[in-house]
Chain A
């Protein structure tokens, strides 16, 4: 079989290039899909609440302050299982806040309560540890943030002039948390005041009666087992004055519609990759069979029946396609690793070689290769042995 495969070296190379194209484009699509799915999963795992308003003083979240009294009131709403006050800030406020897909964020969480997000009760830690109640001046950073800032566990990070020890690095999720710096909410509040001159002025002049626990940009709210999260969200909006409640299903819908362009783009890329790669592969396999038309004529002259010949061609085609597919997958992964290694300096990852992608690409190539081989074989066996020998001469 090795000798036979060696005879098909160019065919295998052709298939490998086609499959590599499919897999590389598919891996880029998978990367974006993971990002969108991750965001969707996050918003469906909690009810997000902010203070009513248009963003003054709350920067990134574009809502009003969510004071401590509101958080207590939310906790009393029937169906609510837990409320965690949060502060979310852009790391660099000069960056356009519309570019949130790649923005680095500081997330301050109230460590005295459990994170109520059902899908992310705890962000997965790859190295070191997560934050503990009572932690101050320590940070857990996302994997992209760590690589783009050259951070390791035990390293130091300076935020608004204050040094933080990095105690943990999150696993790569390919979603927003990869760019997070997670700190205790008390630390985040200090950073917020340091970042926001308006907030400093309001506090200094006493124009509003603000205490530290009132400085929240929002809260994550969990619901009790068996409750409908949308119903609980509506109940919060009805019973707690002065809050903006994001309904999980509506937010998910919003997220999906805002990423609809990317989804359409991905479908287009995927279809193109499969059509172009698939045609290339099918053409290569069929051409390889037609190239050996003389050999098949000789075999039929020696007594091979259609079934025997078809079986032999199919086995060869499957072996060739599988080998070409495996080489193509390896080629795409090597290419992806090289590119990702290069862009990792900026904390990016362009490719995601998921199991379903690799398995799907191999199954697709084998099935298509087999179909092309069957088509070519049917064409070949229709010829008389003498005609096959003549055409192959």
Chain B
């Protein structure tokens, strides 16, 4: 279960008053649910994802992971909580160019304290599941965008995190690769993870348990979208 209560986040603007990226946001995503956040560019949806994933601090409000108030943890404890409980899928993949595909996946295990042969075997299984097993010794610049995102997805789920956050995961992919990633996100939700997807793609909402719209830092809930329908 991922829960956010009263999140507020402002950024200083070069001129004028601060920009309120999150304006008292509440969100609850139960385990096994997939929530989609839609919104225009600059509406605050990426900020929401960063704050939910402990990648940056909110000015006020709190985040709970499995009932634990992780936003109150000290920085190192927050890092550890992030490594163990949260998986990220970024629009620009964010693979480390100096590491092979396999080592990029294993990086998530390293910081979660999982370095053994089981972790390596699991990483290889994931790469095989996503059709990039034969590319495990390739470096990111040697992979296509779709392959990079699949490797990034493997990295995000290596530790089986109870929370999976995806920021425009299909933004840089063609339709076919985009579908693979979206299906995988749904599969993680069905496997019990709380999944939050920020996307501008209409087909991202298909099958979602909840759809939210962000506008000027405010989050408004909409009804769930049935399979086969596009809002």
Within 8 A of A (CB), among B27-61: 50, 53, 55-57
Tell me how far the C-beta of B228 lies from the nearest C-beta in chain A, rounded to whole angstroms.
35
On chain A, the residues within 8 Å of B75 by CB distance are 305-306
- A303 CB contact (under 8 Å) in B83, B90, B94, B98: B83
On chain B, the residues within 8 Å of A123 by CB distance are none
Q: Which of A59-67, A322-330, A355-363, A380-388 contacts B (4 or more CB under 8 A)?
A: A380-388
Chain A: CB-nearest residue to B94: A298
Q: Is the CB of A389 within 8 A of B94?
A: yes
Interface string of B143-169 (1 = CB under 8 A from A): 000000000000100000000000000
Q: Is the CB of A387 within 8 A of B111?
A: no
Asked if B92 lies at the interface with its beta carbon under 8 angstroms from chain A, I say yes
Most buried by B among A299, A384, A386: A386
Chain B: CB-nearest residue to A388: B55
Chain A: CB-nearest residue to B161: A303
Known contacts A301-B53, A302-B108, A308-B111: A295-B96 contact under CB 8 Å = yes
Q: Is the CB of B50 within 8 A of A386?
A: yes
Q: Is the CB of B92 within 8 A of A300?
A: no
- B155 CB contact (under 8 Å) in A302, A385, A389: A302
Could you tell me the distance between the alpha carbons of A308 and B113 in the complex, rounded to whole angstroms?
A: 11
Asked if B201 lies at the interface with its beta carbon under 8 angstroms from chain A, I say no
Tell me how far the C-beta of A294 lies from the nearest C-beta in chain B, rounded to whole angstroms.
7
- A301 CB contact (under 8 Å) in B82, B98, B112: B82
Within 8 A of B (CB), among A287-309: 294-295, 298-308
Asked if A161 lies at the interface with its beta carbon under 8 angstroms from chain B, I say no
Q: How many residues of B contact A (CB 8 A)?
A: 24
Asked if B212 lies at the interface with its beta carbon under 8 angstroms from chain A, I say no
Q: Is the CB of A294 within 8 A of B55?
A: no
Could you tell me the distance between the alpha carbons of A305 and B77 in the complex, rounded to whole angstroms?
A: 8
Chain A: CB-nearest residue to B50: A386
Q: Is the CB of A303 within 8 A of B55?
A: no
- A384 CB contact (under 8 Å) in B57, B92, B97: B57
Could you tell me the distance between the alpha carbons of A308 and B79 in the complex, rounded to whole angstroms?
A: 10
Asked if B190 lies at the interface with its beta carbon under 8 angstroms from chain A, I say no
Chain A: CB-nearest residue to B47: A386
Tell me how far the C-beta of B160 lies from the nearest C-beta in chain A, rounded to whole angstroms.
14
Could you tell me the distance between the alpha carbons of A269 and B53 in the complex, rounded to whole angstroms?
A: 54
Could you tell me the distance between the alpha carbons of A287 and B88 in the complex, rounded to whole angstroms?
A: 28
Q: Is the CB of A305 within 8 A of B56?
A: no
Q: Is the CB of B107 within 8 A of A302?
A: yes
Q: Is the CB of B55 within 8 A of A385?
A: yes
Q: Is the CB of A386 within 8 A of B76?
A: no
Could you tell me the distance between the alpha carbons of A334 and B84 in the complex, rounded to whole angstroms?
A: 52
Known contacts A7-B98, A298-B96, A387-B56: A306-B112 contact under CB 8 Å = no
On chain B, the residues within 8 Å of A300 by CB distance are 79, 82
Interface string of B68-92 (1 = CB under 8 A from A): 0000000110011011100010101
Q: Is the CB of B98 within 8 A of A3?
A: yes
Chain B: CB-nearest residue to A308: B111
Asked if A393 lies at the interface with its beta carbon under 8 angstroms from chain B, I say yes
Could you tell me the distance between the alpha carbons of A278 and B80 in the complex, rounded to whole angstroms?
A: 37
Q: Is the CB of A306 within 8 A of B98?
A: no
Asked if A99 lies at the interface with its beta carbon under 8 angstroms from chain B, I say no
On chain B, the residues within 8 Å of A385 by CB distance are 55-56
Q: Is the CB of B82 within 8 A of A303?
A: yes
Q: Is the CB of A304 within 8 A of B94?
A: no
Could you tell me the distance between the alpha carbons of A123 and B112 in the complex, rounded to whole angstroms?
A: 67
Q: Is the CB of B111 within 8 A of A386?
A: no
Most buried by B among A4, A306, A307, A385: A385
Chain A: CB-nearest residue to B53: A301
Q: Is the CB of B83 within 8 A of A302?
A: yes
- B94 CB contact (under 8 Å) in A294, A306, A308: A294
On chain B, the residues within 8 Å of A393 by CB distance are 92
Could you tell me the distance between the alpha carbons of A21 and B6 in the complex, rounded to whole angstroms?
A: 58
On chain A, the residues within 8 Å of B98 by CB distance are 3-4, 7, 295
On chain A, the residues within 8 Å of B53 by CB distance are 301
Known contacts A4-B98, A386-B50, A389-B94: A304-B79 contact under CB 8 Å = yes
Chain B: CB-nearest residue to A7: B98
Most buried by A among B57, B80, B96: B96
Could you tell me the distance between the alpha carbons of A295 and B56 in the complex, rounded to whole angstroms?
A: 16
Chain B: CB-nearest residue to A303: B83
On chain A, the residues within 8 Å of B84 by CB distance are 303
Interface string of A172-187 (1 = CB under 8 A from B): 0000000000000000
Within 8 A of B (CB), among A358-393: 384-387, 389, 393
On chain A, the residues within 8 Å of B107 by CB distance are 299, 302
Could you tell me the distance between the alpha carbons of A386 and B92 in the complex, rounded to whole angstroms?
A: 13
Q: Is the CB of A386 within 8 A of B80?
A: no
Known contacts A4-B98, A295-B96: A306-B56 contact under CB 8 Å = no
Tell me how far the C-beta of B101 lies from the nearest C-beta in chain A, rounded to whole angstroms.
13
Known A3-B98, A305-B79; further 10 A-B contacts with Cβ < 8 A: A7-B98, A301-B53, A302-B82, A302-B88, A302-B108, A303-B83, A304-B111, A306-B79, A384-B50, A393-B92
22 A-B contact pairs sorted by A residue (CB < 8 Å) = A299-B107, A300-B79, A300-B82, A302-B83, A302-B108, A302-B111, A303-B79, A303-B80, A303-B83, A303-B84, A303-B108, A303-B112, A304-B79, A305-B75, A305-B79, A307-B76, A384-B50, A385-B55, A386-B55, A387-B56, A389-B94, A393-B92
Residues of B within 8 A of A (CB): 50, 53, 55-57, 75-76, 79-80, 82-84, 88, 90, 92, 94, 96-98, 107-108, 111-112, 155
Residues of A within 8 A of B (CB): 3-4, 7, 294-295, 298-308, 384-387, 389, 393
